[in-house]
Structure 1
């Protein structure tokens, strides 16, 4: 027993969770990884700057210096932030609508197996259909305003959330479900106490996957028909052979998506701890 205790203490110390470690010892691995990542980024930017105009034409790949200059120009003339705000608004509305609809459909399919068996082929067919092919019809039905982008974003999100929530409900222990029924739990109690806690982990994972898809749906809609949004700004820059402008749009939307994914990851981590599953 004493040998096992010593071994456990050594494992805790080696993993950085031991009580005897100083703040510097706990932060050092994270700081080291951050320095390595910054060094890799700096090296890539240096190689890119060197190759621009020497190995590849500048108008094709631009350069970090030109991208930085164009970034400042777009900030100063009001091109970047208003268009980025429009795209985020479209993506968030579509994300919320698609997530709610997908979650509800997933719960319905999980609760009513007969409905799932009947409707599943149609759901699979709609999921397999490339959503971009629906965009001409959506433009005809809803015009070229924000509603069209919201619908495209919602369609790309809905099926990801739907399948994850449905899969979570199908994995519920049947014995546990039978115990709920034997104890006289109502349908609402079963949903709140069993189905929702079982689906929340899968739901948060699907949300992290779904938000970048919502951005894709919104930007595709802006490519198709729009007068504003980051997709419109990038398309206008591409038509002028402005590679730096295109890259400013790509980098801006990427940073935004990473920030939102980080927030969702923090929420997912706290929910996992609340459920006693440890960190993800």
Structure 2
């Protein structure tokens, strides 16, 4: 009798879950269609404005940009410079990110040293980063090394604070539970602090990764003869609006690639947070 009563309930629940999944799928399709329609409308308005209202010299047109993009892709220079910019941005992000997580963790677990060091980091954070680029040119030269250093600096400050406050926000009760079970500092770091703070760290990555691209482009515009930033500067100085838009489109693609990397890291952070929550409930069970 009990089995007879449970089975229909299970079927109803399964049907409800399937219906919700179908609704979500339809909503995604509708959103994509609306996005494509908005994009198509914007491009059509842009094309029409360049042909009737605004001089193409100022805004070019989607058709001209598409033709120029194909030509620049066939030439190979656009892809080469895009890879240079992407490599510098990722390299600077990794260097600055590792330093930020390491220092943020150490200060997060040591209030004494945090009280000493944090005011200096805050003072440096308040300084405009682009103001130190001329000094960095003297120290590391121009080109890719400069771009990597600027990207690392921008990445460090954004990710440092998220790591620092994320480590400080970890539940002391969870730390004590691991220590009671015989865990040492390494166990606390790997099982408690970093998994619990990873959501904070991932949020910092989401902000700092695009900023690393901004730093690279800025450095390439000021002191480099390669990269998408250099191309933007070159075509802008040449008053070549169409080619400038092509390079900006390439920067958009590079930014989207980096955003997908952040999305993967955020998905990983959610998994770690779920595991951390289960561990937190475990000792009290």
Q: TM-score, normalised by structure 2?
A: 0.86
Distance 2:258 2:143 in 1: 25
1:140 paired residue among 138, 141, 152: 138
State the match for 1:213 in structure 2. 211
Deviation readout 1:89-138 (Å, 9 max, x if unpaired):
11111010011000001101111111111111100011111111110000
What secondary structure does 1:129 align onto? coil
1:70 counterpart residue number: 68
* Per-residue CA distance 1:211-263 (angstroms, 9 max, x = gap): 11111111111011111101111111101111111111111111221232123
Alignment partner, residue 37 of structure 1: 35
1:95 corresponds to which of 93, 96, 103: 93
Question: 3-state SS of the aligned residue for 2:142?
Answer: coil
CA distance in structure 2 between the aligned counterparts of 1:158 and 1:271, rounded to whole angstroms = 19
- State the 1:22 CA deviation: 9.2
Give the structure with the higher percent helix.
2
Matched-pair contact (CA < 8 Å) for 2:198–2:272: no
Please give the alpha-carbon distance, in whole angstroms, between the structure 1 residues aligned to 2:202 and 2:180. Answer: 31
User: How many corresponding residue pairs?
Assistant: 267
What is the alpha-carbon distance in structure 2 between the residues aligned to residue 109 and residue 39 of structure 1? 49
Which of 198, 201, 207 is the matching residue for 2:199?
A: 201
Aligned counterparts of 1:233 and 1:106: Cα–Cα separation in 2: 36
- CA 1:236–1:97 in structure 2 vs 1: closer, same or farther (change >3 Å)? same
Residues 58 and 144 of structure 1: CA distance in aligned 2, closer, same or farther (over 3 Å): same
Q: Does 1:54 align with 2:56?
A: no
Q: Contact 1:79–1:233 at 8 Å: present in 2 too?
A: no
- Tell me which moved more, 261-270 or 85-94: 261-270
Partners of 2:214 and 2:141 lie apart in 1 by 19
Gaps of 5+ in 1: none
Distance in 1 (alpha carbons) for counterparts of 2:96 and 2:60: 37
Is 1:121 equivalent to 2:119 in the alignment?
yes
Map of 2:26 onto structure 1: 28
Partners of 1:173 and 1:22 in 2: how far apart?
36
Question: In the TM superposition, what is the alpha-carbon distance from 1:21 to its structure 2 partner?
Answer: 3.0
Alignment of 1:1-280 (within 5 A): 18-21=16-19, 25-276=23-274
SS at 2:274 equivalent: coil
Q: Is contact 2:169–2:197 with CA below 8 Å preserved after alignment?
A: no
In the superposition, the TM-score normalised over structure 1's length comes to 0.88
The answer to whether the 8 Å contact 2:196/2:272 transfers is: no
How far apart are residue 160 of structure 1 and its match? 1.0
Q: 1:60-117 CA distances to partner (integer Å, 9 max, x unpaired)?
A: 1111111111111211222210010111111111010011000001101111111111
